[in-house]
Amino acid sequence: MHRREFLATSPALFFAPSVITRHLRPRPLQNYRVALIGTGWYGKMDLLRLLQVTEAEVVGLCDVDQKVLAAADRLIRTRHPGQRPRLYANHRELLRKEQPEIVLIDTPDHWHALHAIDALAAGANLYLQKPISVDVREGQALVAAAKKYGGVIQVGLQRRNTPHLVRAKREFVDSGRLGKISHVDLCCYYKMRDTARRPVTEIPDHFDYETWTGPAPLLPFRGIPHRRWRAFQEYGNGIVGDMCVHMFDAARWMLGLGWPSRVSSTGGIIVQTEADATTTDTQTAIFEYPHLQCVWQHRTWGTPADPEWPWAFMIYGSEGTLKGDTQKVSFIPNARDGQTITYEALYEKEKYPEDLEEQGIELHVASATRAHLRDFLRAIDEGRLPAATIEEGHISTASCILANLSQELGRPLAYDPISGKVINDPEATARLARPYRSGYSHPWHA
């Protein structure tokens, strides 16, 4: 089936941005009032990239770790001496006092939806890191909030603006050079799962563990969970929610795919059984569409299936194969005399020499993030939808959540985005919302 034929029958038609629209507010701005909620590693990366592509006043930084917050403040003031952000431990206080026009949300996954809804209600435009939610109902509530409050939301699925992938989509997919597309493989073989066991310890004075935990279960404190929180299903959706969402979204964008008709998954904690992590170390997920499947696999042990493509997507067509990741993309024609064509990631070292001195930066991703932010800013100025809308972010996020739910329940799930239910499966439907801890209210209401 060719891409044009597939689009005519795709479930994307049930939930496309052209069908579900929002009231966008075109607001050409000369100097954006910007706030960052979540000032850890990636929060700083996003904010620094934003300051490279637009004039902005950083009016507020917010974090529950006072040491991390102070470090972010020092970095921003050092890199941009004119900036004087105010510091906050409470995001609602920041939103109320500073009234930012743009909010970057880089908190752990279990806070994404609540922070985003509060920022939308305060009138802000959002750059929201993926995944947009930790359960399907949060995603529904966030889509509804976006329609209610307006504003522009760009989800941090920056493969949609990654220069070498944009070029490959145009030259090999949109042009038809891949031919009939019948299968997609997605994978991650990084040894990224925390394998340690840590003792319960005292909570340091500079870290507000109660607020950090928020609506999630209050687990025994085993040290400050910066980045390590991803090893716990209580705060996110494991490697499927962290890494699959990127490559699955890239494949959907490349091929114009909407909601999968069925999701199934198997796996578990098979090898790294001594760790106190609760996420899977081995998992396969299948996202089914008419006439093709997207198949995900991750292992946090052993060797990659292909060492050249340890975290990637592979699109198989009748005329060739397209392999892509954050660093490169290759078109491999099926013809015996065909030549493989490879495009590398865009490095902008001369244009942005400060990147070379930045601790922890992913140089091969920096240009993609800048392009994603430029698209976000143009969408604000022009009152249009950006590349990674909240609706698209919801499809990719919820599909990965459904994969985890399928793995837990041991059966395939067919989710109907119109009714918001898993077809003929009341138990799975009941689990589309996670229970919140006492004192917090889930934003979705039937």
DSSP string for 52-64: HHS-EEEEEEE-S
Confidence of residue 440 (pLDDT cuts 50, 70, 90): very high
Read off the pTM.
Answer: 0.93
Q: What is the pLDDT of residues 36-86, one digit of tens each?
A: 999 999 999 999 999 999 999 999 999 999 999 999 999 999 999 999 999
Confidence of residue 337 (pLDDT cuts 50, 70, 90): confident
Closest by alpha carbon to 250, among 392, 129, 38?
392
Mean pLDDT across 294-317: 98
> Distance between CA atoms of 314 and 173, rounded to whole angstroms?
12
CB-CB neighbours of 193 under 10 Å: 22
Q: What is the pLDDT of residues 285-305, one digit of tens each?
A: 999 999 999 999 999 999 999
Residue type, 199: P
Q: What is the DSSP letter of 242?
A: I
To the nearest 10 degrees (0 to 180), the angle between helices 136-149 and 112-121 is 10
pLDDT value of position 446: 56
Mean pLDDT across 262-269: 98
Q: What is the pLDDT of residues 338-362, one digit of tens each?
A: 999 999 999 999 999 999 999 999 9
Confidence of residue 316 (pLDDT cuts 50, 70, 90): very high
* Residues in contact with 15: Cβ distance below 8 Å, sequence separation at least 6, in sequence order: 258, 259, 391, 395, 417
Q: What residue segments make up the domains of the chain, in order of their start? A: 15-160+364-390
Q: Name the CATH architecture for the domain at 15-160+364-390.
A: 3-Layer(aba) Sandwich (3.40)
How would DSSP label each residue in 144-210? HHHHHH---EEES-GGGG-HHHHHHIIIIIITSTT-SEEEEEEEE----S--------PPPTTB-HH
> Distance between CA atoms of 358 and 90, rounded to whole angstroms?
28
Q: What is the pLDDT of residues 100-118, one digit of tens each?
A: 999 999 999 999 999 999 9
Whether 2 has a pLDDT exceeding 80, the answer reads no
Confidence of residue 23 (pLDDT cuts 50, 70, 90): very low
How many angstroms separate the Cα of 247 from the Cα of each of 171, 184, 230, 326, 332? 19, 10, 18, 10, 19
